[in-house]
Amino acid sequence: MEFTIQHFIALAPLLITSATIIVVMLAIAWRRNHSQTFLLSVAGLNLALLSILPALKVAPLAVTPLLQIDTFACLYMALILVATLACVTLAHAYLGDGGSGYPGNREELYLLILMAAAGGLVLVSAQHLAGLFIGLELLSVPVYGLVAYAFFNKRSLEAGIKYMVLSAAGSAFLLFGMALLYADAGSLSFVGIGQALAATGMPSSLAQLGLGMMLIGLAFKLSLVPFHLWTPDVYEGAPAPVAAFLATASKVAVFAVMVRLFQISPAASSGVLSNVLTIIAIASILFGNLLALTQSNLKRLLGYSSIAHFGYLLIALVASKGLAVEAIGVYLVTYVITSLGAFGVITLMSSPYNGRDADALYEYRGLFWRRPYLTAVLTVMMLSLAGIPLTAGFIGKFYIIATGVESHQWWLVGSLVLGSAIGVFYYLRVMVTLYLIEPNLRRHDAQLHWEQRAGGVMLLAIAVLAFFLGLYPQPLLNLVQQSGLAG
């Protein structure tokens, strides 16, 4: 195929991210310098983010049979790059500089995050099963290393091995499903599969089995019930910035490709599969929220909470018409903002050379009297995750409910309302803990290093953004409306 300048402009975000990986790798080989590696990573990610603007001008464009760059891909590329930038900033604060920092090599963490981000960019623009699989593996393999990065901590190593073994099983299901789908449809492209399934009216049992197995593979990555068992252990064991990446960029990429697959081949979401998705959605909402009730570890609580949030998102996927794509876009943006804020607070509270992260709830008791600004950020994030009005999370939930009502999915809407009611309890429990008065506690704000200050400024910006979008969501709604799958 003939490559023109338009193709390179469309691919610019991915090309710049890939170039950044090579530059960072060469810089590490030449001279180990934590701050230099951080600055190179941030510069590359910012350039990739800016290159989305010219890419929008040439979209929609099928770059190769594998990748389609359209407004939908550009929105999710931007979301993944912003989430990666935030995680890189948090990683810099977490690993620290100077003699008291992280005991191992710090620089490779940035390399692994950049590689995973590149996989996410491939994934959201995939229009072919081969593109989907390449993107998914490029995203997953570096994450195994990232989860086990704090190798001197037994929990981190255990989480890395657990995630790797179970993720490999998920990938095997995905590949088998693709093979069955190809056997039935005779095509690997999403459009080809959609046309083949639509031609027969109802998908054949072979196609349904293939789609079901693919769903198992993707549901594992999104930690939907009953494929969720790895989530709390991996979130708890992974270093805090890595858990933030896993909860945001990694899941957004997988959900975006799932939306594309189900929207382009509508037959995929009809019949038995639609009922299966409904059951998974209700189970994820109820199990996620009920299991979070008993947690006294903040990372595990956020892990279970993320299971519930992706259950809410499945409601829009099951509805799959009207407001669905718009609702998913709005919800994912608000979810990424709030998750980054919540994990960001855990990151700035933790330091890896103390053995483990500050993720136990008792460590946040009376935090308001020690670190007032971190308390303010975490309070806003908890309110937003609970979907309280005047926060970004409320707008996301409102859209999901509107989608469910529009398509008369009353069971799903009922489970969302019930799940949200349960969720309010454990989010408020975290908030109350922050303001408890400990005996003999004097008010002071801890001294921060400059890299932690950078993380702190970013967290305050995230909290302001969560409030702003709750009060005035119009810019976000306009952005998402322009990024429909029609391109």
Give 451 or 300, the one with higher predicted confidence.
300
Range of the domain at 228: 5-481
Token pair in block for residue 193? 């599969």
- Report the number of distinct structural domains present in the chain: 1
d(CA 193, CA 6) in angstroms, rounded, equals: 27
**Residue 459 counted as domain residue:** yes
248: in domain: yes
- In this prediction the pTM is 0.92
Average pLDDT over residues 6-32: 92
Q: Can you name the residues that pair with 61 across neighbouring β-strands?
A: 69
Distance CA 152, CA 194 (A): 48
From residue 272, alpha-carbon distances to 204, 263, 315, 403 in Å are 11, 17, 16, 21
Tell me, yes or no, whether 296 lies in a domain: yes
pLDDT score for 477: 87
Residues 144-181: tens digit of each pLDDT: 999 998 888 888 899 999 999 999 999 999 999 999 98
Residue 486 located in a structural domain: no
Coil, strand or helix at 368: helix
Cis status, amide bond into 226, omega within 30 of 0: yes
Report the alpha-carbon distance of residue 250 to residue 243 in Å, rounded.
Answer: 10
- Report if residue 477 sits inside a domain: yes
| Cβ pair 118, 137 in contact under 8 A | no
487 is a domain residue:
no
Highest mean pLDDT among 61-70, 137-146, 272-281: 137-146
The answer to whether residue 406 is domain-embedded is yes
Closest CA to 323 of 395, 417, 258, 404: 404
Residue 140 has pLDDT above 80, yes or no: yes
Question: Using one digit for the tens of pLDDT, what is the confidence trace for 433-474?
Answer: 888 876 655 544 455 555 567 788 889 999 999 989 888 888
Asked if the structure places residue 132 within a domain, the reply is yes
What's the pLDDT band for 280 if we cut at 50, 70, 90? Answer: very high
pLDDT of residue 487: 41
pLDDT of res. 367: 85
Whether 48 and 17 have beta carbons less than 8 Å apart is answered as: yes
- Segment 254-263 mean pLDDT: 87
- Whether 51 has a pLDDT exceeding 80, the answer reads yes
Q: Which of 134-143, 193-202, 266-275 has the highest mean pLDDT?
A: 134-143
